[in-house]
Amino acid sequence: MKIEAVGKPPGCKLLRISAELSEPPGDDSIVKSISIRGDFFAIPEDEFEIVEKRLAGTRVAGLAHVFDALTAEMRIRAIGISGSGILATLRGAIDEISVQDTADRL
C-alpha cells in the first residue's frame, strides 16, 4: 500500500514521506520502500539515500530506532529530522487511512 505523509512533528522540520508498506497499514507493516524529503539537512547528503534503502524491511514500529541507529552508524549529521519524527509523520497518515476506512464502512 502506498502511503503519502506530510508533517512537522516536534523537534523536526517539515517532512514529506512516500512509503510502500505491506498491508494492512499499521505498526506491524513492513516498509517495502521509503522516500523522505523535506526542509531538513543530512550531511553527507548522498549517504542519506543509503539510509532510505536500508530502511526497507523494517517494521513501522521499529522505524525510529532503525533510522537513528543507521544515521549514527553511518555518521550522518541529521538536522531537523529524527527517527521519532519520521515515525510520527508516517503514523499520522496511517491513522488517517484507518479513520477513512472506518467511515467508508459506515
Place of cell 516536534: 10
CATH of the domain at 9: 3.30.390.50
Grid coordinates representing 33 are 520502500
- Each residue's pLDDT tens digit, 57-99: 999 999 999 999 999 999 999 999 999 999 999 999 998 886 6
Question: How much is the pTM?
Answer: 0.89
Q: Which residues span the domain enclosing 54?
A: 2-105
Strands 31-38 and 15-21: antiparallel
Looking at the 3D structure of the chain, how many domains does it have?
Answer: 1
